[in-house]
């Protein structure tokens, strides 16, 4: 299982969480990555944890004030980026252009989608991975793997029908090892989570709990 912790814009210590994530991942031999704010990518990457961007813009070098380039996050130390997160929606053409920009930069992509139909559509654009996240469960602490297992199963089927080589992750409300195990049993090859770690009183303990069943 791949565990990607998205720190969003939460008021947390990205370096402390990254350091803990690297240690927990190493100890458990589980792939654990952290997606901090863009401005924190370099110092998070310096901890040795696998580092992801939360978003890049579908543009190259040029007159694009305020844009985040795929090349720039690679230079800062990112290995991959989320695209089309529920809180950073893109038009289909921009998702496609974003994936092409990441390919040129050598950056992996996880394209997020709300539901199985959208998962089928974005899988057709050939990202490295896709992630299904029902928006109504994001940040609730109610795990998608328990609250809506069918959406995970159907997302896996929808992606498989288009390209079975593209792994499907799920996210929303995931906060425990039990949730991660349940996600795996539904066919998910990873989880995308945020508040369960970023808002935890003890993020290291929260991270350790995530890998307990793996």
Residues of span 50-79 touching ligand G3H by CB under 6 A = none
Closest CB 194 distance from ligand G3H, rounded Å: 4
Q: Tell me which of 50, 55, 61, 133 is the catalytic residue.
A: 133
Closest CB 136 distance from ligand G3H, rounded Å: 10
Q: Which of 80, 173, 187, 203 binds ligand G3H (CB under 6 A)?
A: 173
What distance lies between CA 101 and its chain's CA centroid?
18
Whole-angstrom CA distances from 213 to 147, 176, 177, 180, 194 are 20, 10, 6, 8, 19
Q: Which of 1, 2, 3, 6 binds ligand G3H (CB under 6 A)?
A: 6
**Binding residues for ligand G3H, how many (CB under 6 A)?**
14
Q: Assess 33 for contact with ligand G3H (CB under 6 A).
A: no
d(CA 34, CA 48): 11
Write out the H or E segment, with its range, that includes residue 208. helix 203-210
Task: Supply the DSSP symbol for 135.
Answer: G
Annotated catalytic residue 85: yes
Instruction: Tally Cβ neighbours within 10 Å of residue 185.
Output: 12
Instruction: Write out the residues near ligand G3H by the rule CB under 6 A.
Output: 6, 85, 133, 138-139, 171-174, 192-196
């Amino acid at each position: 299982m791949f565990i990607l912790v998205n720190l969003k814009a939460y008021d947390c210590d990205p370096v402390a969480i990254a350091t803990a994530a690297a240690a927990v991942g190493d100890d458990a031999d589980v792939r654990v990555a952290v997606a901090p704010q863009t401005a924190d990518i370099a110092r998070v990457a310096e901890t040795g944890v696998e580092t992801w961007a939360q978003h890049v813009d579908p543009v190259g070098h040029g007159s694009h004030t305020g844009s985040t380039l795929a090349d720039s996050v690679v230079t800062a130390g990112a290995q991959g980026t989320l695209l089309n997160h529920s809180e950073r929606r893109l038009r289909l053409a921009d998702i496609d252009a974003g994936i092409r920009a990441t390919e040129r930069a050598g950056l992996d992509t996880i394209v997020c989608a709300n539901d199985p139909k959208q998962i089928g559509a974005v899988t057709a654009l050939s990202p490295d991975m896709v992630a299904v996240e029902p928006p109504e469960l994001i940040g609730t602490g109610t795990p998608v793997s328990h609250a809506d297992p069918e959406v995970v199963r159907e997302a896996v089927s929808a992606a498989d029908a288009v390209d079975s080589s593209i792994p499907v992750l799920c996210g929303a409300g995931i906060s425990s090892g039990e949730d991660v195990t349940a996600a795996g049993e539904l066919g998910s090859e990873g989880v995308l989570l945020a508040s369960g770690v970023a808002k935890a009183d003890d993020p290291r303990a929260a991270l350790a709990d995530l890998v307990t069943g793996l």
